Amino acid sequence: MKDYSILLYYHYTPIEDPEAFREEHHLLCLKLNLLGRIIVAAEGLNGTISGLREDCEAYMATVKADPRFAGIDFKVDESDKHAFTKLHVRYKPEIVHSSLRHVKPIEKTGVHLSPAEFKQLKDQEDVVLLDVRSDYEHLVGKFKNAITLDIENFRDFPEKVEELAHLKDKKVITYCTGGVKCEKASAFLLEKGFQNVYQLHGGIIKYGLEEGGEDFEGKCYVFDNRLTVDVNKVNPKVISTCYICQEPSDRMVNCANPTCNIHVPMCEKCGHEMEGACSDTCKTDPEKRPYDGTGYYQKETNGYNPFKGLYRKTVQN
């Protein structure tokens, strides 16, 4: 067993004062030395964090002790170290950025399928698997025979639903990394007249942890410094090619030029030769970031203050 844990989770539940909750939750994370990204909104909580195993266990116990989050589902992976370098706990209008603010998954959403149920249904003749993630995510990994969408962000999903109208008589199973996007995607499909809509509960990550990831081809893109993780322990397959040399590669990088910053597969050899850049133009850009061999770059904080609210809480106590 490794010393660190990486948690992926979300929960749709009403939070009456999300900004106050953000401050309280942030203080909890500081106390437990956790790093990662957490979004708090009036509609719920969404996060991916890392920390020492015992600190993550304390975090999960504390969150579940709150009646609002009693049903939260944590996907837990092991690690030798932190998967993040900073802690961000932010208040936002939604826990996943979409064009579907009117959609309320706690009122209506697609039928949740456990990983075992998903495995049984996925290959049936009248079933369609729908990947609701962004193009750079399914480029490096997706389920065998799944339908993918040409979208840069999940907020573009509603515009693509008309293209799926011919599938209304099918059983449509949506899937994403951890499940949070599917809650709104499946609800929107129901709103648009799809009758039999399901979602893989816990997403790709939970399916890999519980069922071995069979028929997930490639790797799963994740939003931490690992960039991709293995999912399939049964019949793994590389489906992506290096952006530079076109040789098979499932090693993802963000272009070292921050103005570009595209997410593409790039083999180690080309990564070294291109210094993490996706083109000669990006390689010679004066703003190019130093390449450390990983292709992961910490996002700018944009003025985010990790200790916001700390002084006020200290004074009140």
Residue 197 neighbours by CB under 8 Å, 6+ apart: 110, 111, 172, 174, 186, 189, 190
Same domain, 90 and 119: no
d(CA 185, CA 201): 13
Same domain, 123 and 211: yes
Same domain, 145 and 212: yes
pLDDT value of position 70: 96
Whether the CB-CB separation of 128 and 148 falls below 8 Å is answered with no
d(CA 197, CA 142): 19
pLDDT value of position 307: 62
* Residue in 46, 47, 66, 42 with CA at minimum distance from that of residue 5: 47
Query: Looking at the domain assignment, is residue 44 inside a domain?
Result: yes
List the structure tokens of 77: 């992976």
Query: Looking at the domain assignment, is residue 46 inside a domain?
Result: yes
Q: Which residues of the chain have pLDDT under 70?
A: 299-317
Q: What is the CATH number of the domain that holds 206?
A: 3.40.250.10
Query: Looking at the domain assignment, is residue 224 inside a domain?
Result: no
d(CA 309, CA 17): 14
Q: At which of 186, 218, 250 does a domain end?
A: 218
Same domain, 127 and 179: yes
Whether the CB-CB separation of 120 and 68 falls below 8 Å is answered with no
Active site residues: 176
Residue that has been written with the tokens 């706990």 in this structure: 89
Separation of CA 110 from chain center: 19
Same domain, 247 and 196: no
Query: Looking at the domain assignment, is residue 155 inside a domain?
Result: yes
Domain that holds residue 121: 111-218
* Residue in 225, 101, 102, 113 with CA at minimum distance from that of residue 173: 113
d(CA 314, CA 304): 20
pLDDT value of position 314: 45
In a 3-state reduction of DSSP, which class is residue 20? Answer: helix
Measured over the CA atoms of residue 55, residue 57, residue 60 and residue 64, the dihedral's sign is negative
Overall number of domains in the chain: 3
Same domain, 12 and 77: yes
d(CA 191, CA 184): 10
d(CA 66, CA 72): 10
9-29: b (≥16 Cβ within 10 Å) or e: bbbbbebeebeebbbebbbeb
d(CA 99, CA 118): 27
d(CA 208, CA 68): 27
d(CA 43, CA 94): 7
Query: Looking at the domain assignment, is residue 227 inside a domain?
Result: no
Same domain, 184 and 283: no
pLDDT value of position 156: 95
d(CA 310, CA 308): 6
pTM score, whole prediction:
0.91
